């Protein structure tokens, strides 16, 4: 009996020291990172893993709304996410984001002041800008004979079934609102209803509502016109010189996508290490060159080749920027946007 209790005691001691033995020495932290599709040079992820001995579980989303739903559901404990302006505002209001300890993100100093203190994070507490850009129309010069300077062209019968719209409610409803001369942040129900009617009227002309597939379809000449984020337009123009990009005279959207730490994070320190790493000059340059979007990183920008720095698609002049609006969080009105978008998508 004595022998048995001695054995049990040894077994219990072994169990208690197990977590501190070799097994745990090899156990790596896994960081869950959630980003837009086609929005990173993936070699950067391996560089981070090798440098810090942290494993990255990398997942992608297609719209801010998809990202929000998944983080809210809490199925995956995301440590870093990269939403846009208005969605960051919404997540802050709903208590979904951690405040960042900026003493762990010294490379934040490289971010251009123009992208700090913006409405969605006025005191720079929750977000670190990653990329920015404007929305416009990418078009094929060989297929489009009319001037491309107004959103109206996306309603021109001549281009029936040659038009691509973004499968993203803020972008598509925003374009319809600006076509009508309204702000893309309107919360006026009557104006929103008019925008819905415009989108329904346009539907027979639309070849497809797309996300990242827009690039293949425009590069291959399958479509003539598309709403596009400028960074994607940079990439498309490189692949097909017949493509051009324009920001309509009625105005457009300026977006800022930022790195944030959701409250679901179990590894806040490592999340801050990741964000800081993404702000290393060489890493920011690598991502910018790879994806084609506009960098808010002052030093990375200086290292880009002259042609890229002077590309007006990625870095538009002040006259273009001055007619662009940043999306605001529309709080309860978002339900209206959801309803309108559902009705547009369901319309025959």
Between CA 200 and CA 208 the distance in angstroms is 13
**Of 205 and 254, CB closest to ligand SPD:** 254
Cβ distance to ligand SPD smaller for residue 36 or 245: 36
| Partner residues linked to 326 by β-bridges | none
The least distance separating ligand SPD from the CB of residue 183, rounded to whole angstroms, comes to: 16
User: Residue 18 class from Cβ within 10 Å (0-12 exposed, 13-18 middle, 19+ buried)?
Assistant: exposed
CA atoms within 13 A on the CB side of 144: 29
Q: Which is nearer to ligand SPD, 268 or 328 (CB)?
A: 328
Nearer CB in complex with ligand SPD: 39/159: 39
Positive or negative torsion for Cα 229, 230, 231, 235: positive
Nearer to ligand SPD, 120 or 255 (CB): 255
Q: How far is the CB of 294 from ligand SPD (least distance, A)?
A: 10
Burial class from Cβ neighbours inside 10 Å (0-12, 13-18, 19+) for residue 289 reads middle
DSSP secondary structure, 133-148, as one string:
EEEEEEEETTT--S--
Shortest distance (Å) from residue 255 CB to ligand SPD: 4
Contact 214, 232 (CB under 8 A): yes
**CA–CA dist 274, 268 (Å, integer):** 10
The nearest distance, CB 72 to ligand SPD, in angstroms, is 18
Distance of closest approach, residue 291 Cβ to ligand SPD, in angstroms: 7
Q: How far is the CB of 253 from ligand SPD (least distance, A)?
A: 7
Q: For ligand SPD, which is the closer residue by CB, 39 or 301?
A: 39
CB of 212 to ligand SPD, least distance (A): 5
Contact 28, 54 (CB under 8 A): yes
Q: How far is the CB of 39 from ligand SPD (least distance, A)?
A: 5
Q: Please, which residue, 227 or 283, has the CB nearer to ligand SPD?
A: 227
- CB-wise, 174 or 262, nearer to ligand SPD? 174
Return residues touching ligand SPD (CB under 6 A).
36-39, 84, 212, 229, 255, 257
Rounded distance between C-alpha atoms, residue 322 and residue 288, angstroms: 23
* Rounded distance between C-alpha atoms, residue 337 and residue 186, angstroms: 10
Question: At its nearest, how many Å lie between ligand SPD and the CB of residue 15?
Answer: 48
| DSSP annotation of 111 | B
Sign of CA dihedral 184, 190, 196, 197: negative
Q: What's the alpha-carbon Rg for the chain, to the nearest Å?
A: 23
Q: What is the Cα–Cα distance from 154 to 242, expressed in whole angstroms?
A: 18
For every residue of 289-325, DSSP letters joined together read HHH--B--BHHHHHHS-HHHHT-TTTS--HHHHTTEE
Residue 38 or 167: the one with the smaller Cβ distance to ligand SPD is: 38
């Amino acid at each position: 009996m004595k022998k048995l209790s001695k054995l049990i005691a040894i077994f219990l001691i072994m169990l208690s020291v197990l977590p501190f033995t070799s097994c745990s020495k090899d156990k790596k932290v896994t960081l869950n990172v959630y980003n837009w599709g086609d929005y990173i040079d993936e070699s950067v992820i391996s560089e981070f893993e090798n440098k810090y001995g942290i494993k990255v579980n990398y997942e992608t989303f297609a719209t801010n709304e998809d990202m929000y739903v998944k983080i809210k559901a809490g199925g995956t404990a995301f440590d870093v996410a990269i939403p846009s302006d208005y969605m960051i505002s919404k997540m802050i209001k709903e208590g979904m984001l951690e405040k960042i300890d900026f003493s762990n993100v010294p490379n934040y100093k490289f971010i251009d002041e123009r992208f700090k203190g913006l409405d969605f994070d006025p005191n720079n507490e929750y977000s670190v800008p990653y990329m920015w850009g404007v929305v416009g129309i990418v078009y094929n010069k060989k297929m489009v004979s009319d001037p491309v300077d107004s959103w109206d062209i996306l309603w021109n019968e001549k281009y029936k079934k040659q038009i691509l719209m973004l499968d993203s409610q803020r972008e598509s409803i925003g374009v319809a609102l600006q076509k009508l001369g309204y702000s893309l942040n309107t919360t006026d129900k009557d104006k929103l209803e008019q925008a819905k009617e415009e989108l329904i009227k346009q539907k027979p002309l639309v070849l497809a509502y797309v996300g990242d597939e827009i690039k293949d379809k425009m590069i291959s000449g399958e479509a003539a016109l598309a709403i596009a984020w400028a960074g994607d337009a940079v990439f498309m123009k490189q692949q097909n010189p017949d493509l051009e990009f324009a920001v309509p005279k009625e105005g457009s959207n300026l977006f800022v996508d930022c790195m944030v730490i959701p409250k679901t994070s179990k590894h806040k320190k490592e999340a801050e290490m990741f964000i800081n790493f993404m702000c290393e000059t060489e890493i920011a340059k690598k991502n910018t060159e790879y994806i084609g979007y506009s960098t808010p990183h002052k030093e990375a920008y200086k290292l880009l080749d002259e042609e890229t720095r002077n590309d007006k698609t990625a870095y538009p002049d002040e006259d273009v920027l001055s007619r662009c609006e940043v999306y605001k969080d529309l709080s309860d009105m978002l339900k209206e946007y959801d309803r309108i978008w559902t009705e547009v998508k369901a319309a025959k």
